[in-house]
């Protein structure tokens, strides 16, 4: 979860000390397609694996549209776009990632689903030193790694949305992650993708969301208690604190369900009321008002 900025990251050429020449991405939604785009633009062969042909085709269209938008804005050239697309492939069979040097899971923030996915991927990987990574924003990396049977080779790689623009990636080792695996993952992020890497603890929320979620939830409680309107809360934080986006608009962009899941995971860990999802957030999610992706959250979108 994050605030959009106007920067760009084109990445760098592959061949860093990470030794990673092929990337697998599990899930081609907003985050997964963004991760795959960044990897392909950095010169790395990349495959997106989806659960069925419909989602696979949607992922392909999403990446193509993003690259075309970058060309239209003059942030990349047509030749670079064509080269990136040539490095991308799309599949709906987990064996497509079997020979990858790193597999990055970017599926829905559902622990049972992710645990099952890690178990399946752990069974198909053919390279002993392949790295398994999760883009989770709140789940414990050690649990995912244990499910895969490759806990020493598992890390968290928490990207921020939109991935092609946002420069930060949280790199999260578990207690069991080998030092050389952590360094290869960090090198992949920093040297290959051209992102800024910070090392975060394997605790729900890591660094950024541990600070961000209480801020967003405080804004919801302020709205819920009638202290100010959504518009005034967001305008106040933008113009008074210099934030590029207000907290309620940010929640709509991230997804209300994603924010609730992150808060619930942190509350279960810390028992701190600041992380408890506010009642209004629960009601909106239960009603299907998930933000931009559903057309309605704290604001309505056409």
Please list, in sequence order, all residues whose beta carbon lies within 8 angstroms of the beta carbon of residue 74, skipping any fewer than 6 positions away.
none
From the list 137, 138, 174, 187, the catalytic residue is: 137
Active site residue 137: yes
Nearest CA to 125 out of 151, 152, 103, 154 is that of: 103
| DSSP states of 211-248 | HHHHHHHHHHHHHHTTSS-HHHHHHHHHHHH--SS-HH
Active site residue 209: yes
From the list 70, 134, 170, 174, the catalytic residue is: 170
From the list 70, 158, 174, 187, the catalytic residue is: 158
Active site residue 16: no
Q: Are 170 and 198 in contact (CB under 8 A)?
A: yes
From the list 33, 161, 209, 253, the catalytic residue is: 209
Return the C-alpha torsion angle 299, 64, 52, 144, nearest 10. -70
How far is residue 289's CA from residue 302's CA, in Å, rounded to a whole number? 13
To which residue do tokens 């619930």 refer? Answer: 264
278: phi then psi, degrees, rounded to nearest 5 = -65, 150
Any long-range contacts for 263-268 (C-beta under 8 Å, 24+ apart)? Answer: 263/213, 263/217, 265/138, 265/139, 265/204, 265/205, 266/138, 266/204, 266/205, 266/209, 266/210, 266/213, 268/204
Beta bridge partners of 300: 296
Q: Give me 29's structure tokens.
A: 């939604």
How far is residue 38's CA from residue 34's CA, in Å, rounded to a whole number? 6
Active site residue 227: no
Residues annotated catalytic, as ranges? 137, 158, 170, 209
């Amino acid at each position: 979860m994050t605030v959009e900025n106007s920067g760009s990251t084109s990445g760098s050429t592959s061949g860093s000390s990470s030794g990673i020449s092929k990337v697998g991405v599990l899930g081609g939604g907003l985050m997964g397609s963004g991760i795959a785009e960044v990897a392909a633009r950095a010169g790395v062969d990349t495959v997106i694996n989806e659960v069925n042909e419909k989602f696979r085709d949607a992922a392909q269209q999403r990446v193509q549209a993003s690259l075309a938008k970058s060309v239209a804005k003059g942030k990349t050239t047509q030749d670079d776009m064509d080269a990136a697309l040539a490095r991308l492939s799309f599949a709906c069979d987990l064996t497509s990632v079997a020979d990858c040097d790193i597999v990055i899971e970017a599926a829905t923030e559902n622990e049972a689903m992710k645990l099952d996915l890690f178990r399946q991927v752990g069974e198909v990987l053919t390279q002993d030193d392949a790295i398994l990574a999760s883009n989770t924003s709140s789940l414990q990396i050690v649990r995912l790694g244990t499910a895969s049977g490759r806990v020493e080779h598992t890390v968290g790689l928490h990207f921020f949305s939109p991935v092609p623009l946002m420069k930060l990636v949280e790199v999260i080792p578990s207690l069991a992650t080998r030092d050389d695996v952590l360094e290869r993952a960090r090198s992949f992020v920093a040297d290959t993708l051209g992102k800024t890497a910070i090392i975060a603890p394997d605790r729900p929320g890591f660094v950024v969301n541990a600070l961000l979620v209480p801020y967003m939830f405080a804004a919801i409680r302020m709205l819920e208690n009638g202290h100010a309107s959504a518009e005034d809360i967001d305008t106040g934080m933008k113009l008074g604190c210099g934030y590029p986006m207000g907290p309620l608009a940010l929640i709509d962009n991230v997804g209300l369900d994603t924010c609730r899941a992150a808060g619930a995971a942190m509350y279960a860990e810390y028992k701190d009321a600041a992380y408890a999802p506010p009642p209004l957030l629960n009601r909106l999610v239960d009603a299907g008002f998930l933000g931009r992706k559903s057309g309605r959250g704290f604001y309505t979108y056409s």
